[in-house]
Amino acid sequence: MDIFGNILGVACYEGLVFGLVTIGVYITFRVLAFPDLSVDGTFPLGGAIAAVLIVAGVNPFLATLAALGGGLVAGLVTGLLNTKLRISALLAGILMMVGLYSINLRIMSGANVPLLREVTSFDVIAELFGLHGGLAVSITLVSVVVTLFFVVLNWFLRTEIGLALRATGDNEEMVRGFGIDTDKTVLLGCSVSNGLVALAGALVAQNQGFSDVGMGIGMIVLGLAAVIIGEGLFHPKGIAPILLACLGGTFVYRLFITIALRLGMAPGDLKLITALLVVMVLAVPYLQKRMRKEWLEPAKRW
């Protein structure tokens, strides 16, 4: 029981906090059709900013907000590389990812910053609610943050600007034809996306007690895998269901990873698990259709 509870708890926490990454990836890849790889750099950027500020004595919530701001700016730069300098989205993201690696090292003046002796946002919440169990605190804080962003995004994407953003990835020429500056909507989307990712990085760093320059490796894979799992399992239609599917997909993904770890698999094997999980989610419905001899769409390349 206890071990189950613990596994579920871990998956819950990770599903929520990495769910922010997934929503970020969803916004660029799916909403904007902008394959943005800067995520691997903006996640540790958030961790680095928050950690350095907390060590410097800044209020941990303010430090977290600053990390969000850092991500917004980084995403904006990715968007600018694409829209103003006409560098392809893929390359712009890769350049940002590479560039941010050095920037993150500079921010932290080294490869990592320990936070074990510092008061993090999680410690403040624990104090506030008189909680002791580490996991309960983690889940409480990230639930609040995720709920907040869920509500805001669910509202924002339905506004006039939000609609323009969603339409941009769908049919840019038409959107311009209705008088919308699609450069601006792309900038906005990239910015919001990376802001969310950096926020997640800041929370993860505080939760694990250190920020590390390598903590972003594989974030883009996580985000994409979770998007695909969420879409594959829940077939979401409408904005709120899509956001929930991002969170659900992340939860399922992290649940598998947690279980695999508990079963004693080496951390090095996790990448393979990720790959197999994505293949499974994509292939099972296809194979089912195949067995039922249904009509099959030709393979997609993008």
Partner 1 sequence: MTTKATGNHRLLQLKSIKKVFARGTIDEVTALASIKLDIYDQDFVTVIGSNGAGKTTLLNIIAGVYPPERGGSVTISDEDVTHLLGYRRAVYIGRVWQQPETGTAGKLTIEENLSLALLRGQSRGLKGATNKQRRQLFREELAVLGLGLENRLNTPVYTLSGGQRQALSLVMATISKPAILLLDEHIATLDPKTAKTVLDLTDKIVRLEQMTTIMVTHNMEIALNYGNRLIMMHKGRIIVDMGEAKKKALKVSDLVSAFERAAGEEFDDDTILLSRGE
- Where does this chain bind partner 1 (CB under 8 A)? 156, 158-164, 166-167, 170-171, 173-182
Smallest gap from Cβ 213 to partner 1, in A, equals 37
Smallest gap from Cβ 199 to partner 1, in A, equals 21
Length of the chain counted residue by residue: 302
Q: Whole-angstrom Cα distance, residue 200 to residue 145? A: 10
Quick one: 167 or 259, whose CB is closer to partner 1? 167
Quick one: 174 or 276, whose CB is closer to partner 1? 174
Quick one: 127 or 181, whose CB is closer to partner 1? 181
HSE-CB of 182 using CA atoms within 13 angstroms? 19
Residue 88: both structure tokens together:
């392809």
Q: Whole-angstrom Cα distance, residue 296 to residue 288? A: 11
Quick one: 103 or 240, whose CB is closer to partner 1? 240
Quick one: 156 or 210, whose CB is closer to partner 1? 156
Smallest gap from Cβ 225 to partner 1, in A, equals 22
Quick one: 49 or 188, whose CB is closer to partner 1? 188
Smallest gap from Cβ 147 to partner 1, in A, equals 20
Smallest gap from Cβ 278 to partner 1, in A, equals 22
Quick one: 181 or 269, whose CB is closer to partner 1? 181
- Which residues have CB under 8 Å from 109's CB, separation 6+? none
Q: Rounded to the nearest 10 degrees, what angle do helices 182-208 and 121-129 cross at?
A: 70
CA distances for 66 relative to 10, 114, 173, 223, angstroms: 26, 18, 35, 22
SS3 readout for 164-225: HHHHHCCCHHHHHHCCCCHHHHHHHHHHHHHHHHHHHHHHHHHHHCEEECCCCCCHHHHHHH
The 10 Å Cβ neighbour count of residue 10 is 20
Q: Whole-angstrom Cα distance, residue 300 to residue 283? A: 13
User: Are the beta carbons of 156 and 240 closer than 8 angstroms?
Assistant: no
Quick one: 17 or 164, whose CB is closer to partner 1? 164
Smallest gap from Cβ 238 to partner 1, in A, equals 9
- Which residues have CB under 8 Å from 65's CB, separation 6+? none
User: Are the beta carbons of 244 and 234 closer than 8 angstroms?
Assistant: yes
Smallest gap from Cβ 242 to partner 1, in A, equals 11
Smallest gap from Cβ 252 to partner 1, in A, equals 24
